[in-house]
Amino acid sequence: MTGMILSVASGVLTALAFPKSDLGFLAWLGLVPFFIALFNAKRYNTAALYGLVFGSVYFFGVFLWVFSLSRWVGPWAYIGLIFLSLYQSLFIVLFSLAVLYSIKNFDKRISVLLVPLLWVFFEYLRCIGPFASAGALMGYTQHNNLPMIQIARWVKVYGVSFVVVMVNIVIASFIITKGKFKDNCVNVAFAGVVVCISLIYGTFELSRADRPVAGKAVKISVIQPSFDQAFKMNPANSFLMLDLMCKMSVPDRSESTDIIIWPETAVMNFPERVPGVMSRLSGTARAAGAYLITGAFSYEKGDLYNSVFCISPDGKITSRYDKEHLMPFGEYLPFRALLYPMLKGTGYFDQDQSPNHSPVSLQSGGCRIGTMICFESLFSGIAAERAKDADFLLTLTNDAWFGKSSAAQQHIIAGSFRAIENRKYFIQAANNGISAVIDPWGRVVARTSLWDRTKMDFVIYPDNASR
């Protein structure tokens, strides 16, 4: 019973380290109760049970925003959250079994290294495959700890997770051995050195970030129209939304901009097919004298794509990005033959979107833009691919599906890591927020609030990351 209570306590503490609570300091000790329970487990079935309990509470708390989808799919949202939490917990179960095996077969003193490595390994496994979920990575809890997360430049977000878990295991070991110096001195020293080196490196990198460097300036405007999702989905409103965004995009005579960015599915039509849509987009780009980037749908050879279009100042489409990593149950329905008869009443699964496994970067004048759509920005690997030969990273999203839940906050914190990992500016344009500009060192340059209808103007210097 004590082990169960400790596992639940860890699940609650670690979940609170993520937004909305965003108590990141809890991550440095939140795993301690779970590790104490795990180290006291004698049998594998006990360790598995503790892992299942901890994981279920942890993921349920972090992914609580899934409840907000009940507005669209009713009770299926609650069922989905339960299954998502249980599925993700399976990785914690495997982690728990691996930890107990290592305790039984290896010197416990290497746990300071082995346990964090196992944690990171199973975090990585959660981020691959068709049902990958890159949310709730422990490293994300430190998004406000800028000196610490600079190590993500070399070890990605997983390296930050490693350090956080390592501190937890050292504290747990200290408690288990009742503070015996002889049993803990090596582990404490090792963890202390790793933390200190990380902080020293991060502080040095941030000091470099403040050095002035000459480079090209790119003026960008992000339009956040803040449309409620129900309003967006009404076909009668498609041109009303389009006209409003066109009006918001044209700068005053005293202003100028190089690139205007609209969010994901800002255009609820097919620009290349629906009369009146392309003429409005072209007219806006001409009037602004700027490149216009917008999310919209495209349809090609029977396949539906979630796309991003780039339109030049002379009104022509210069490039198009189609989403590669689709979200199961959001953009396509897995196991369709089995599940569609149950879910067809919701009206959201009538047609699957298609992935484009050969995506291209957007070309906007002299800028090459590494583009992602929605939750693609949570995946380090996808961002790294997009960052190749790109001047900056761009994510278009529409988090209006999730209302005022924590989804938008959990989404944007990944941007700091993608910026640091690739040493490039990261820009997010969202329908209802949070839109943001993050510099190559993970610092937020500009940021909007949820549900603000606004235009965010800023300047970035892509060359500044090349030091």
Spatial separation of the C-alpha atoms in residues 292 and 365, rounded to whole Å:
11
Q: How many residues are recorded in the chain?
A: 467
SS3 content of the chain, % helix, strand, coil (to 5): 55, 15, 30
Query: For the chain, how many helices (H) and strands (E)?
Result: 15, 12
Across the range 172-188, mean pLDDT stands at 81
Same domain, 201 and 227: no
Same domain, 310 and 330: yes
* Mean residue pLDDT across the chain: 92
Q: HSE of 388 in the Cβ direction (CA atoms, 13 Å)?
A: 8
Across the range 5-28, mean pLDDT stands at 97
Among the candidates 209, 229, 257, a domain finishes at 209
Would the pLDDT of 467 be above 60?
A: no
Peptide bond into 108 cis (omega under 30): no
User: Closest by alpha carbon to 264, among 377, 389, 423?
Assistant: 377
Same domain, 82 and 102: yes
Same domain, 179 and 157: yes
Spatial separation of the C-alpha atoms in residues 318 and 320, rounded to whole Å:
7
Residue 175 contacts residue 168 (beta carbons within 8 Å): no
Same domain, 196 and 246: no
Among the candidates 165, 186, 209, a domain finishes at 209
Spatial separation of the C-alpha atoms in residues 5 and 12, rounded to whole Å:
11
List the 392-397 sheet strands across, edge first.
Answer: 362-364, 367-373, 392-397, 426-430, 436-438, 444-447
Compute how many other C-beta atoms are within 10 angstroms of the C-beta atom of residue 100. 21
Spatial separation of the C-alpha atoms in residues 404 and 252, rounded to whole Å:
32
Among the candidates 209, 239, 268, a domain finishes at 209
441-450 pLDDT, tens per residue? 999 999 999 9
Residue 137 contacts residue 381 (beta carbons within 8 Å): no
352-363 pLDDT, tens per residue? 788 888 888 898
What's the pLDDT at 78?
93
User: Closest by alpha carbon to 431, among 409, 394, 399, 395?
Assistant: 399
Phi then psi for 213, rounded to 5 degrees?
-135, 130
What's the pLDDT at 300?
86
Spatial separation of the C-alpha atoms in residues 211 and 217, rounded to whole Å:
16
Residues of the chain with pLDDT > 70, as a percent, come to 95
pLDDT band at 324 (very low <50, low <70, confident <90, very high): very high
* Residues 6+ positions from 120 with CB-CB distance below 8 Å: 158, 159, 161, 162, 165
Helix or strand or coil: residue 305?
Answer: strand
Would the pLDDT of 110 be above 60?
A: yes
Same domain, 159 and 261: no
Same domain, 189 and 232: no
Same domain, 177 and 253: no
- Domain containing residue 59: 2-209
| DSSP secondary structure letter of residue 108 | G
Same domain, 300 and 192: no
* β-pair type (303-311, 291-300): antiparallel
pLDDT band at 275 (very low <50, low <70, confident <90, very high): confident
Same domain, 16 and 110: yes
Helix or strand or coil: residue 354?
Answer: coil
Same domain, 301 and 357: yes
What's the pLDDT at 465?
62
Range in 61-70, 107-116, 262-271 the model is least confident about: 107-116
| DSSP secondary structure letter of residue 302 | T
User: Closest by alpha carbon to 440, among 408, 411, 463, 413?
Assistant: 463
Across the range 336-344, mean pLDDT stands at 72
Would the pLDDT of 198 be above 60?
A: yes
What's the pLDDT at 137?
97
Range in 245-254, 312-321, 452-461 the model is least confident about: 245-254
Q: Which residue type, as a one-letter code, is found at position 351?
A: Q
What's the pLDDT at 455?
96
Residue 410 contacts residue 445 (beta carbons within 8 Å): no
Same domain, 394 and 426: yes
The domain spanning residue 460 has which CATH number?
Answer: 3.60.110.10
Which residue did the predictor score with more confidence, 18 or 42? 18
What's the pLDDT at 361?
85
* Residues 6+ positions from 152 with CB-CB distance below 8 Å: 139, 159, 160, 417, 420, 421, 442
Q: Give the number of domains in the chain.
A: 2
Would the pLDDT of 29 be above 90?
A: yes
pLDDT band at 369 (very low <50, low <70, confident <90, very high): very high
Spatial separation of the C-alpha atoms in residues 264 and 298, rounded to whole Å:
13
What's the pLDDT at 185?
84
Residue recorded with tokens 């937020």: 444
* Residues 6+ positions from 25 with CB-CB distance below 8 Å: 17
Run of H or E including 176:
helix 152-176
Residue 103 contacts residue 113 (beta carbons within 8 Å): no
